[in-house]
DNA sequence: TTTAAACTGTGTATAAAATACACAGAATAT
DNA sequence: ATATTCTGTGTATTTTATACACAGTTTAAA
């Protein structure tokens, strides 16, 4: 018989030593590529391995708040909108102790955030999806799952968060889509589809320095 | 500064007392209605409240295994296929102690499983969606989220698990869909769509006791 | 056992949505 | 001034989804 049982401290406490952690796949769009923020860990286990930023759930904090804390420490990001991806509970996913992780993803503008290695981190860097190093723990799976969820959300709800600046051209938006979904779209059809979703509005400005003088749009 | 920190017992253990629980929304289809299996709790807190079956994660078990254990105790169900829904971490969602829950849903045939109240449960019952009692803890939210996920999965991937018997008519399948999605479909269009998905095959048998003598299908 | 009632099983016509496609205008680079 | 490169737009075609009617089969009732 397992120790699974009623959740009642008044009667019996069946839980055992197990850490709850949060991990976050921070996506950014830079140089026309989708990137992920990775940190290099300076302590064992997985010393000198790249991995997703994460850490133990904070006392008296929700999971989301804990993610925000972790990322604030690393990047100065104050409050970002998070999307929950999944939970990971394989018994040996952490070599030292039992850890159950809940993973999230966030969408940010890399240029907004200085990334500063500190605490248990020796390096921190934006990586393109196509040149990801091998990752510590089971974080490669976490990245795959986060990416899948991001793609699903992008296809259905057109949420691209803060991946683009406040004002952007439709071509820039299309390039973002093509990059993330790894799929090409016809320019006219893409514009048609996006505009009839009625979530963007044109500004009076045009983007300079680019031929054709495209109109800048912003979110409504 | 929060206690969020590196996940390394060798350096410091930042985690604190917090139980990890699993909760499961077990769906069944009976009397042409979608039902949920609820249990009535016989101990405080939330004594005599109805709620989702659940319990603490078992030592050395994954979250899924823990759900299977919980449900096996209640219903005799051996191994069911589970779908992870979400994690819940509000600080005061459990009045006595800090509990983070990961919720799942499962699809079963009610008639297959005797449901037996035991341990900390005084009653157990299948409830129709439209006559759910008010639930303990934050389980009403969990039910809503599980239902939403079920609907999404049903729409996209045609996974209806074990909600129907091995052999079923297309009309029965359609009624299942209409019930879960709360939407009516044209019979001919529904059949066309389902059949061209190529996941069902007709058997040689017809269903008796029903006018028209419909053909029985099964999953490929 | 005959008849009525209720359900099954099928195809086509229409509407809506997605896709394919070309050229004139605007800004930049030469 | 001219060439180049990008922008911005409409329509025709294909695909997909929707609407819709009648003959055949089984059960229930007379």
pLDDT tens by residue, A166-196: 999 999 999 999 999 999 999 999 999 999 9
* Strand D bases, protein C-beta under 7 A: 4-11, 17-21, 24-28
The model's pLDDT over A134-156, given as tens digits with 9 standing for 90+, comes to 999 999 999 999 999 999 999 98
| Better-predicted residue by pLDDT, A105 or A114 | A105
* Cβ-Cβ contacts under 8 Å, A60 against chain B: 91
Q: Which residues of A138-152 are buried (b: 16+ CB within 10 A; e: fewer)?
A: bbeebbebbbebbee
Report the distance separating Cα A121 and Cα A123, nearest Å.
Answer: 6
Distance in angstroms: CA B174, C1' C2? 34
DSSP A23: E
* Residue A120 sits at the chain B interface (C-beta within 8 Å): yes
Confidence (pTM)? 0.92
Residue written as token pair 């860990």 = A41
What's the whole-number mean pLDDT along residues B135-143?
A: 98
Grade residue B9 by pLDDT with cuts at 50, 70 and 90: very low
**Whole-Å CA distances, A162 to A86, A99, A113, B49:** 22, 31, 12, 43
Determine the pLDDT at residue B86.
Answer: 98
Contact B57 A15 (CB under 8 A): yes
| pLDDT, position A14 | 53
Q: What is the dihedral of CA A15, A18, A19, A21, to 10 degrees?
A: -90
pLDDT of residue A13: 42
Q: What is the distance between the terminal CA atoms of chain B, rounded to a whole angstrom?
A: 56
Chain A contact for B89 (CB, 8 A cutoff)? yes
Sequence-distant (≥ 6) Cβ neighbours of residue A80 within 8 angstroms: A68, A71, A106, A107, A108, A162
In 3D space, the residue among B120, B126, B147, B149 whose CA is nearest the CA of residue B54 turns out to be: B120
The phi and psi torsions of A6 (rounded to 5 degrees) equal: -65, 150
Residue A127 in contact with residue A115, Cβ under 8 Å? no
Task: Indicate the length of chain A as a whole number.
Answer: 220
Q: From CA B13, how far away is CA B33, in angstroms rounded?
A: 49
Q: How many CB atoms are located within 10 Å of the residue A20 CB?
A: 23
The tens digit of pLDDT for each residue in B73-118 reads 887 777 788 999 999 999 999 999 999 999 999 999 887 777 777 7
Number of C-alpha atoms within 13 angstroms, CB side, residue A64? 15
Residue nearest to nucleotide C17 (CA to C1'): A193
Distance between CA atoms of residues B43 and A110, nearest Å: 51
* Geometric angle at alpha carbon B156, from B152 and B158, rounded to 5°: 100
CA distance A18 to A89: 10
Nearest to A54 by CA among A22, A98, A82: A22
Residue B8 has pLDDT above 80, yes or no: no
Q: What is the dihedral sign for C-alpha B29, B30, B33, B35?
A: negative
Task: For nucleic chain D, give residues with Cβ below 7 angstroms from it.
Answer: A 169-171, 187-189, 191-192, 206, 210-215; B 186-189, 192-193, 206, 208-213
């Amino acid at each position: 018989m397992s120790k699974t049982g009623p959740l009642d401290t008044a009667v019996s406490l069946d839980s055992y030593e197990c850490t709850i952690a949060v991990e976050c796949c921070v996506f950014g769009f830079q140089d026309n590529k989708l990137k992920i923020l990775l940190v290099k860990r300076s302590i064992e286990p997985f010393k000198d391995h790249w991995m997703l930023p994460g850490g133990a759930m904070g006392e008296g904090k929700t999971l989301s708040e804990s993610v925000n804390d972790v990322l604030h420490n690393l990047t100065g990001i104050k409050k970002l909108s998070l999307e929950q991806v999944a939970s990971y509970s394989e018994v040996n996913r952490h070599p030292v102790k039992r850890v159950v992780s809940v993973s999230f993803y966030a969408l940010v503008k890399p240029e907004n955030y200085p990334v500063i290695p500190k605490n248990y981190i020796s390096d921190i860097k934006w990586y393109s999806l196509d040149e990801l190093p091998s990752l510590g723990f089971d974080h490669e799976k976490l990245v795959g799952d986060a990416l899948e969820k991001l793609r699903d959300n992008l296809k259905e709800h057109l949420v691209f968060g803060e991946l683009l600046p406040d004002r952007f051209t439709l071509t820039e938006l299309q390039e973002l889509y093509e990059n993330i979904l790894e799929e090409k779209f016809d320019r006219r059809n893409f514009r048609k589809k996006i505009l009839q979703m009625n979530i963007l509005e044109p500004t009076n400005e045009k983007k300079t320095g680019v031929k054709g003088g495209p109109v800048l749009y912003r979110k409504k």
